[in-house]
Every structure is written in C-alpha cells, then in structure tokens.
Chain A
C-alpha cells in the first residue's frame, strides 16, 4: 500500500523546493552567516580580551567559542525555518502539498530535510571562514564528525521549529514561542562558557539541556575538549533528534488549515 518509490519522489520534491527557494533568496544565506560572524569577531574579541589566554580549557576564547557559534547558527537558523510553514499556510501552497497522495511523515521529513540542508550550507561556509580566519584546524575525520553532529542537531531543531510552526497560526505567535524556546536552549548550553566550574544550580540546568551535548560533542571533535565524553554526547544527541522528529511529525499531522 505504501509505495516507496512515489514517497521518495515526493520527499525529493519537497526537499528540492526548499533548496531552490533558499538559493533564490541570497539574503537568507547572507543574513544567516553575518550574525554568527559578528558574534565571533565582536563577542569573541571583546570577551576574549579580558579572559586570560588559556583560561578556557587551554585555547583562545575565539576558538573556544567557535563550536558554540556553529550551534547558535543551527539553533537560530533552523528554528526560524518553521516560520515558513506558517507562510505556506497563509497561501494555499500548503494545501497543494497536503492534498498530494503522500504519507504525512514523508511531507514532514521532506520539509525537515530541506531546512536542514539550508542550515548545512551555512555551516559549511562558517567552517571555511573559521579555518581561514580563526585558525581552526580541520582534519578529514573532524570534518566528517562535525557534519554528523551538525546534521543530527539540524534535523532536531528544524523539526522543533516545524512543530511550533504547525501549531501556531501567526508569525507573531511563532516568534513569541520560539524565543521562549531558543534563548534558554542556547544560553544554558555552555556554548559561550565552559561548564566545568559552574555553580550547581546552573550546572544542573546545563546538564539537562540536550543542546549542551551538541556543543560538547563539537568542542570535543574540533578542539579536543570535552566534559561529558563523546559516547554520552552522541547518545543524548541521537535521542534528542529522534524525539524531536516524532514531536514534529505528530504536530504536522495535526496541522490546522
């Protein structure tokens, strides 16, 4: 009954549309890159100047910040992607997709993959800039592992964004809910500071935030610094991704037109 071939074609179509649209709006890409660069340059330099060299786990602060900024790019860019589902709702394009003889999970996954691909393109550009301007060293293994971590996180956060977009009816409502979600996820993740010497209350919060494990995994892979160890990082990250995809699919199936 489930025709794999046509589901795959549908998946490809939905993904391909996101990619085409993304490529046609260079402002999306540029905007998504400028912000993290500003963070790296301004925040990294500013805060870096008052932090003694070596105080953050033996690297300079800018380098220490780099994995956190990758995570920031994913979080803000991909969660925001959920907004497009609200814009699709405003015109009847969403109906055009929903009337297609495809499984709802296929539609959702195509959309999530589309958003993740956009995010991945941004990350690749940031990695290149990081290697050129911030002295980040990437080996082949580093690149592969970084991609795996980033892709898991991208799928998780895009799914979360799509879930919020499926439930909310207005862009304003979407903005409100996502800021409630995104700021704690980001600031309480250790993206900006090491998690080792925190007061207990903060450490507890950071420990239960799944995004902390993505930051830790990236730091481990790129800089060789880890607090939780890669196996735990991956376990949490994979679980987070699976749960978010399930939540997203669930919300998408209940989308109100």
Chain B
C-alpha cells in the first residue's frame, strides 16, 4: 500500500483553481518530485497534504490517515521545510531547533542529542548560538532543513529546498537530502523548478502545470523519451560521409560552419566523432534535460522570463585546444 495516496485533490481559491483534480500515489522510501513553474500549485498541494489548507474536493491519505478527518495524526507523521523563511530571527539556530523539538514531541532525553546531530549534519555546529538574523540565506536554509527532520518524521515535505542558493551550497544540500533518505529511510516529497535538482534527487517526478498533472515518470525515462544527445561542433572541414556512416549518429546537419548531430550516448563516442571533423573550434554537448521534457510536454519553458542563469542546465561547453 502506498504511504501517500492523493485522490482527485482539488483546491479552489474563489473561482481560481490552484490544484486541479490531482491524483498520485507515493511509496515508502521514495524521493518524489513535484516539478512545475511558478504558480503551478506545488505549495498549495503540499499545504493540503500537511493539513494547512482544507481541500475543496478530493482527499489525501497520509500514513493511513485522512488529512481532513485525522489532521493531528497526519501532522504527527510529517515534517515540513517551508518555501519561505520560517524561523525566528531573534532566536539562535539552536533555540529554533529546541522550540521545534518541544512542539513536535521529541522525547526530553533525546532533545539535546538530536539537536547536536542535526547541527552536525548541516554543518552549523559552530554557528548554533548566533541569532538567525545574522545567518546567510544558505545557513538559514540548512538550519530549516535540519529542523524539518529533527523529530524523525516518517514523511518529509521540502518546498523548494534550494531556492536561491549558490550552486555549491545546493550540491551540499543535495548530499544531505540523499543521506537522509538512505540512512533514515524517510519518504521525501520535494517541489522544485530546478530541473537539475529533480533529476539528481528524485526517484520519480510528477510534472504539474496549472494545477494539473502533466506527466509522471522516472527522470531516466523522461529523458529517454526525447531521443539522443545533441552535439554541436563549429568546424570548417568535417568529414561528413565518414560521420554519416557511424551508427550511433542519428541525424546530421551542416550549415554555415556549424555541424549539428544527434547522437546516442554522445559521451562515449565524442572522441571518435571529433577525429573526423577536422579543426574544431568549439564543441557543445547537450544532453536532453528535464527542461527539454518540460518544453515538449507543455510547450513552455519551465520559468517564463527565465532568470535561470545559474548554470543549472546540462550544457557543457568544451573549447578544444589544439587538435
């Protein structure tokens, strides 16, 4: 039996439908991603699962408890890392964790131990007694992550866990999240609009848009559905006939100085290809990303007016030195 069962869940704000007839099943131990652009209804969905918002219709059963009928039992099974800052600025990191431990029913004898462990996991031991007003965004996020699982919930909701963090902090957080999932067997539902994040962390991904489920699959299957990798090479004298002979090259186009190839598993064949293109000035390898999947499924970029210059995508540019 799935640990979380969402059936026809719908939330309307006046006549605007934020979550539209969503049905999902999430299994124990999974890291499950809700991927969608701004306003897709991710936070609204999590809020209903966490009993913060009553559904307009449909229902959800979490750890065997219906969110509408047994909200307290549901809340006993979950932890939540909210999208917006949710710790008290005037208190220190440790104090915020302590209050959480008391409110979320950590046994008295375990409170100190759990707090120490949590702080250590997110590398904040030496900042624990500083007021959170003086924390950076990344430190705050890490503390809130530690807080979310301080009481060892069975299920953890992470709402945009790495929003606005620098790439390195983000990768560190990913490590923490993975460790949590493997070491503690916590079931995690996370929302994100970073494709790379969903790809890196999630066992399965639900793409939602306008409150509706658009697609549901594993990251690997999603990417497979798009065919091979795209290789773009800037070169003057490619050996086109030789390249066309290669059976892993699916599609060849040569225009101006630019050679575009669709290649199966480009990583392992790139060397061979490069040997036949002559003097290459610039080589780009683009593996299909969830971004492409999203574009194909919805006809839109995941974020309109993409302010996503933060190196999320899997485009690698290689400048060939002297070949």
Interface residues of A (CB under 8 A from B): 1, 3, 6, 9-10, 12-14, 16-17, 20-21, 24-25, 91-93, 95-103, 257
Contact = CB atoms under 8 A, between A and B. Distances in A.
Given A257-B47, A257-B53, A21 B75 contact: no
A101 B72 contact: yes
Contacts of A100: 75, 103-104
Interface string B22-41: 00000000000000000000
Given A17-B99, A98-B52, A257-B52, A93 B90 contact: no
Nearest to A100: B103
A10 B85 contact: no
B91 A101 contact: no
Interface stretch (B76-84, B224-232, B304-312): B76-84
B256 interface: no
Interface in B78-127: 78, 80, 82-88, 90-91, 95, 98-100, 102-105
Contact of A24 (B90, B99, B100): B90
13 contacts: A9-B102, A9-B103, A12-B102, A14-B103, A16-B99, A20-B90, A92-B83, A92-B84, A92-B85, A96-B80, A97-B103, A102-B103, A257-B52
Secondary structure of the A side of the interface?
helix
B17 interface: no
B75 A93 contact: no
Given A13-B103, A103-B72, A93 B91 contact: no
Given A13-B102, A14-B103, A99-B75, 18 more contacts: A1-B72, A9-B102, A13-B99, A17-B88, A17-B91, A17-B99, A20-B90, A24-B90, A24-B91, A91-B84, A93-B88, A96-B100, A99-B50, A99-B80, A100-B103, A101-B105, A103-B72, A257-B47
A246 to B, nearest CB: 21
Contacts of B100: 96
A9 B76 CA distance: 15
A25 to B, nearest CB: 7
Contacts of B102: 9-10, 12-13, 16
A13 B50 CA distance: 21
Nearest to A7: B105
B8 interface: no
A256 B129 CA distance: 33
Contacts of B78: 99
Nearest to A1: B72
A94 to B, nearest CB: 8
Contacts of A101: 72-73, 75-76, 104-105
Contacts of B105: 3, 6, 9-10, 101
